[in-house]
Chain A
Amino acid sequence: MERAVTAQKKKRKRTGTTKYIDYTLLLMIICILGFGLVMLYSTSAYNATLKFGSSIYYLKRQAMSAGLGFVLLYICVKLDYHFFAKFAGVAYLLATVLCLAVNFVGTSSHGSSRWLNIAGFSFQPSELAKVAVILYLATVISKRPMAMRTFKGNIKLLATILPIFVVVAYNNLSTAIIIVGIAFIMVFISSPKTAPFILAFVGVALLAVVFIFGTYRQERVQIWLHPENYDTGYQTLQGLYAIGSGGLFGKGLGESIQKLGFVPEAQNDMIFSIICEELGLFGAICVILMYILLLWRLLLIATNAKDMFGSYLVIGIMVHIALQVILNIAVVTNSMPNTGVTLPFVSYGGTSIMFLIAEMGVALSVSKSAHVET
């Protein structure tokens, strides 16, 4: 009798109704996060001591945000992700309102107001906007997949993103571009058509080029091409000095010179340059490989999710991380003009890391029901 019961249980497991999450992904998240905190401490200790008199100031805040993120991750894993679908519309509206509000009552830094002070915590609503857009699009696409069959339907859906794009773009163009990128790719995947999207992409790219060369942003291009001639090229140039001085195996963890005030606020967007300086080409390639593995894992979960909603959620998350990693490394290596994009899980930013970990929670939740061949 007993034997029969266990056999039955085993059979149920194999049929896919088990509640196991993708532990490989969880392990990857922990590794990247651990590495990120070590590098954050290494790069920020000097600035933290200087500004706040405590070398662990940034590390402490980042670790607290990550802890909060893990609480959210746990909740996401425990909950059935379909639960979130109910809040898609509300989240989208809330994010739009907060992003609008930040333009009026936000705390400014470097000339743009991007933070809201809520009960003593500073909160960056544009990070919420990315998550909200992913949730919103995943919900809409999975509810009415037939509407996606026509290009007109695709455009209609994309148009609903316009309000949040405008309010975010007002003071944070790089985040707005990432939001559009996420939306565009999610809709592209949901549509059976390909050619119109490629045409649209080329069209928008051309428009962007005209826009850039026609306005004050032309200076950005000049800075990109000749950073040494411009004041604002200082950051880029110092980042390149950091990369250039790394060599094959780097100066060693904690040994960066450029983080000592030369790469301004090295713990933020430019952290990858310090990774290059301290860990060398070897370390930099390892970091890139780590992200590739993470993306591959997310792709596996997305394509094997048991329903469309789960797939689109994970696709959105994957696109979000991929775009940020690519844009960040491209900027740091001066492969494209400077835009302020952070390196996921590594750069300093409480709101960002909290939402990223929560997003991983959602991906893990989806993985529970996915048929992933491991």
Chain B
Amino acid sequence: MERLRVYSHRKAKLIGGTFIVVLLALGLRVGYLMIFRASHYAELAVEVEQRERKVKAARGRIIDRNGVILASNKTVCTISVIHNQIEDPEAVISCLTKELGLTEEEIRKKVEKVSSIEKIKTNVEKDIGDAIRAYDLAGVKVDDDYKRYYPYDRILSKVLGFTGGDNQGIIGLEAYYDEALQGEDGKILTYTDARGVEVAELGEVRLEPEAGDDLYVSLDYNISRFATQLAEQTMQRHQASGVEIIVMNPKNGEIYTMVNVPEFSLQEPFTLTEYMAGQTGEKTDLLNEMWRNICISDTYEPGSTFKIITTAAALEEGVVTPEESFYCNGSITVEDTRIRCHKTTGHGSEDFTHAIMNSCNPVFIQLGLRLGAPRFFHYFEQFQMLSTTGIDLPGEGATIMHQLKNVGPVELATISFGQSFQLTPIQMASTVSSLINGGERVTPHIALTCRDRDGKVTRTYKTKDKGSVVSKETSEILRGLLHQVVAEGTGKNGQVAGFAVGGKTATSQMLPRGSGKYIASFIGFAPAEDPEVLAIVIIHEPQGIYYGGTIAAPVCSQLFENILPYLGVEETEKNTDSAVAQ
């Protein structure tokens, strides 16, 4: 038998070698694709958007204390076309042009583009979507989708927050309780054969979405609406740059409302408000500023309202009694620095009750000096006002206070009447609530429970017991003093016919000092003997008169006039005439 010829032998090796070289070259080609072209193809893959369609889960609603729905979902449709399945492109183009109000050119481009699925339009109203469904055109898909819907638009905008395109909460409660509200998205999977055509008989595999839980909150829509209107009027009247109002239950920390005007539109959170559009800066920065919840995120110098805290510390420590006599000659000298009272001629002889009614700075400076920095700071700790309040909203700011070792007599003096440090409005409201409610520290909070769609409670939000911060007796004396402030002192514009109101006014300078910009504020609560509701009103940069007692206290008065009866607080002072007469 003959063996392979020599030339055949050589040629066979040549062929085999060629094969091996070609295979090695293909190996290089694979390496090139997998290393250098990887990102290119990854990008393309996303663009062509594959045939796994998401079914959005219905996001949980946000419901106020009376069952008013503050945030819910509206069914909208997403219209897309699947190129391979279109049988009559002209009919598809004319139908979509007619129903969607887009230009024919735009639609034609998308219909004729070769891709597995092409989105034509999202957020289409449901009736339009149904109309397109009725055409029953091959290759046109109408998918139901949910769009977040806020029926009251700007009311509570910065508290509720809104969601982004991917159903993710961006700010406010939507962000803080995102996990509970979100639910689980479902999926629709469709299959294709070798030519890329959907295989009809295989149908679709659906993974049903799971709706998110409803969030029940302590907010009150009616109070919020009224407070927002009030704040807007106030802002306009005083040409202020902003007005904040917090209304809360001082006993348990439940927030009834938190108003930050100017509010923005929750339906169009990415559109700058008129006011914001006038500002200069990057759009993202402006948006962030527009969305910021000043009540919890921004610190301010509290001014005279802080005298409530100084008083509480002094009373608790026993360095003063309401009856003790003081003398104010218009100023006080602390270590060579002369600090003036707001009444430059002096209040003359007065007892402590009248000193707080007059908001007399020298008297409070004396209280601060009597306490001394270490003891004063010890009370700040005890009142739990140096950290954050722990409110269930994202972005809370902490108190900015001096370091104890840096506090000299002058600093101590300025702290005593609320200057040279900063805290947030919510911290101020919560601390005062804790001091007047009998001494129990409250955690301000909004969420109460989560319920599934059948109304079953799935989660209950309880605040931590933070313990007692001041004695019952001190708290009672404090309530009496603050009632006097409103009844006959600087806060008398905060009076409400038929109700005993306690409170304190403040007028503080905006930093940097000397800029001529002021913050007028008022903290009020009612009924004075057993507070059911507490409110803080803060007016930023009012033009003209800027005294808290003159412009902020009336706002609180108007607010209480309406919400006290609404909340079912009984009138305590039958003699309404005398109140009005003042």
A77 within 8 A of B: no
Contact partners of B40 in chain A: CB under 8 A: 244
Interface string of A126-145 (1 = CB under 8 A from B): 00000000000000001001
- Tell me the A78-125 residues at the B interface (CB within 8 Å): 110
The contact size tier of chain B is: 35 or more
Please name all residues of chain A whose beta carbon is closer than 8 Å to the beta carbon of B191 when the two chains form the complex.
Answer: 50, 261
**A326–B35 CB distance below 8 A:** no
Cross-chain contact B38 with A247 (CB below 8 angstroms) = yes
CA distance A342 to B44 in the complex (A): 26
B195 adjacent to A264 (CB under 8 Å): yes
A243 lies within 8 A of B34 (CB): yes
| Interface presence of B122 (CB below 8 A) | no
Question: When the two chains form their complex, are residues B45 and A241 in contact, meaning their CB atoms are under 8 A apart?
Answer: yes
Interface residues of A in 208-262 (CB under 8 A from B): 228-235, 237, 240-241, 243-248, 260-262
Number of contact residues on A: which range applies? 35 or more
Chain A residues with CB below 8 A from B195, complex form? 110, 231-232, 234-235, 264
A25 at the interface (CB under 8 A from B): no
Contact indicator A311/B33 (Cβ below 8 Å)? no
Among B5-13, B384-392, B484-492, which stretch is in contact with chain A? Answer: B5-13
A318 within 8 A of B: yes
User: Is the pair B31, A240 in contact by a Cβ cutoff of 8 Å?
Assistant: no
A284 and B8 contact, CB distance less than 8 A = no
**Which of B14-22, B125-133, B161-169, B228-236 has 4 or more CB atoms under 8 Å from chain A?**
B14-22
Give the distance to chain A from B271, nearest Cβ to Cβ, in Å: 36
Contact present for A188 and B11 (CB under 8 Å)? yes
A142 to chain B: which residues have CB within 8 Å?
2
Whose C-beta in chain B lies nearest to the C-beta of A241?
B45
Q: Is B202 close to A, CB under 8 A?
A: yes
- Residue in A284, A302, A330 whose CB lies within 8 Å of B12: A302
Q: Are B30 and A288 in contact (CB under 8 A)?
A: yes
A286-306 near B? 1/0 per residue, CB < 8 Å: 001101100110110011011
Q: Are A189 and B11 in contact (CB under 8 A)?
A: yes
Contact of B35 among A51, A281, A288 (CB under 8 A): A281
Residues of B within 8 Å of A237, CB to CB, are: 44, 48
A230 touches B12 (CB 8 A): no
Chain B residues 26 to 54 lying within 8 A of chain A, measured CB to CB, are 26-27, 29-31, 33-35, 37-42, 44-45, 48, 50-52
Residues of B within 8 A of A262 (CB): 50-51, 192
Flag if A296 contacts B20 (CB, 8 Å).
yes
B196 in contact (CB, < 8 A):
yes
| Distance to closest chain B CB from A295 (angstroms) | 6
Cβ distance A238 to chain B, nearest Cβ, rounded Å: 8
Q: Are B194 and A326 in contact (CB under 8 A)?
A: no
Is B41 in contact with A243, judged by CB distance below 8 angstroms?
yes
A349 within 8 A of B: no
B4 interface residue per 8 A CB criterion: yes
Instruction: Name the A residues within 8 Å of B116 (CB-CB).
Output: 234
Nearest-Cβ distance from residue A250 to partner chain B, whole angstroms: 9
Nearest residue (CB) in B for A299 is B16
CB pair B114 A229 closer than 8 Å: yes
Q: Quick one: given A264-B192, A292-B24, A329-B26, are A245 and B38 in contact (CB under 8 Å)?
A: yes
A residues near B188, Cβ cutoff 8 Å: none
Nearest A residue to B15, CB-CB: A185
Asked whether A280 is an interface residue with its Cβ less than 8 Å from the other chain, the reply is yes
Q: Is the CB of B2 within 8 A of A264?
A: no
A333 lies within 8 A of B15 (CB): no
Contacts of A299 in B (CB 8 A): 12-13, 16
Q: For B37, what are the chain A residues with a Cβ–Cβ distance below 8 Å?
A: 240, 244
Is A178 on the interface with B (CB-CB < 8 A)?
no
Docked-complex contact A322 and B30, CB < 8 angstroms: no
- One of A189, A231, A318, A329 near B8 (C-beta < 8 A): A189
| A276 B30 Cβ-Cβ under 8 A | yes
Complex interface: chain A residues within 8 A of B45 (CB): 241, 244-245
- Check: A335 CB closer than 8 A to any chain B CB: yes
Give the chain B neighbours of A190 by CB distance below 8 A. 5, 8
Residues of A within 8 A of B8 (CB): 189-190, 311
Closest to A46 in B: B191
Closest to B22 in A: A326
Min Cβ gap B320→A in Å is 73
Check if B193 sits within 8 Å of A305, measured CB to CB.
no
**A319 at the A/B interface (Cβ < 8 Å)?**
yes
Does A315 interact with chain B (Cβ within 8 Å)?
yes
> Contacts A261-B192, A262-B50; is A308 near B26 (CB within 8 Å)?
no
Chain A residues in 8 Å Cβ range of B26: 288, 326, 329-330, 333, 335
Any B CB within 8 A of the CB of A40:
no
Using CB atoms, name the residue of chain B closest to A335. Answer: B29
Complex: chain A residue closest to B45, CB-CB: A241
| Residues of B95-114 contacting chain A, CB below 8 A | 114
Distance (whole angstroms) from the CB of B300 to the closest CB of chain A: 52
Separation of A51 and B199 alpha carbons in the complex (Å): 11
Q: Which of A174-205 contact B (CB under 8 A)?
A: 185, 188-190, 192, 194
Residue A206 lies at the interface, judged by CB distance under 8 Å to chain B = no
Report chain B residues within 8 Å CB of A244. 33-34, 37-42, 45
Q: How far is the CA of A243 from the CA of B33 in the complex (A)?
A: 7
Assess whether B414 is interfacial by the CB under 8 Å rule. no
- Report if A305-B194 is in contact (Cβ < 8 Å); known contacts: A244-B42, A295-B16: no
Closest A residue to B1 using CB positions: A307
Query: What is the CA–CA distance of A330 and B24 in the complex, to the nearest angstrom?
Result: 12
Q: Are A231 and B38 within 8 A (Cβ)?
A: no
List of A residues within 8 angstroms of B12 by Cβ: 189, 299, 302-303, 311, 315
Q: Are B19 and A326 in contact (CB under 8 A)?
A: yes
The listed residue (A235, A268, A308) touching B4 by CB distance below 8 A is A308
Q: Which of A189, A246, A305 contacts B15, CB < 8 Å? A: A189
Note all chain A residues with C-beta closer than 8 A to B48. 228, 237
| Nearest chain A residue, comparing its CB with the CB of B196 | A234
Contact B196 A333 (CB under 8 A): no
In the complex formed, the residue of A with least CB distance to B198 is A261
Contact B33–A240 (Cβ < 8 Å): yes
Distance A296 CA – B9 CA, assembled complex (angstroms): 14
Q: Chain A contacts of B189 at CB under 8 A?
A: 260-261
| Residue from the list A306, A322, A325 in contact with B3, Cβ < 8 A | A306
Bound: A147/B481 CA distance, A: 126
Q: Which residues of B contact A241 (CB under 8 A)?
A: 41-42, 44-45
A285 at the interface (CB under 8 A from B): yes
Which of B24, B34, B45 gathers most chain A CB within 10 Å? Answer: B34
* Residues in A neighbouring B19, C-beta threshold 8 A: 295, 318, 322, 326
* Residue of A50, A145, A264, A289 ringed by the most chain B CB atoms within 10 A: A264
Closest to A110 in B: B194
- Contact B44–A288 (Cβ < 8 Å): no
Say yes or no for B91: interface residue by CB 8 A criterion. no
B70-93: contact bitstring with A at CB < 8 Å (1 yes, 0 no)?
000000000000011000000000
The 8 closest A-B pairs by CB, nearest first: A244-B41, A234-B196, A299-B16, A307-B1, A322-B19, A241-B45, A264-B194, A311-B4
Q: Name 10 interchain pairs, CB-CB below 8 A, sorted by A.
A: A50-B191, A244-B38, A288-B23, A291-B23, A308-B3, A315-B15, A322-B16, A322-B23, A326-B23, A329-B26
Q: Supply 13 further A-B pairs (C-beta < 8 A) apart from A306-B1, A311-B3.
A: A229-B114, A234-B195, A241-B45, A244-B37, A244-B39, A247-B34, A265-B193, A281-B30, A285-B30, A285-B31, A295-B20, A299-B16, A302-B4
A: residues with CB less than 8 A from B are: 50-51, 110, 142, 145, 185, 188-190, 192, 194, 228-235, 237, 240-241, 243-248, 260-262, 264-265, 268, 276, 280-281, 284-285, 288-289, 291-292, 295-296, 298-299, 302-303, 305-309, 311, 315, 318-319, 322, 325-326, 329-330, 333, 335
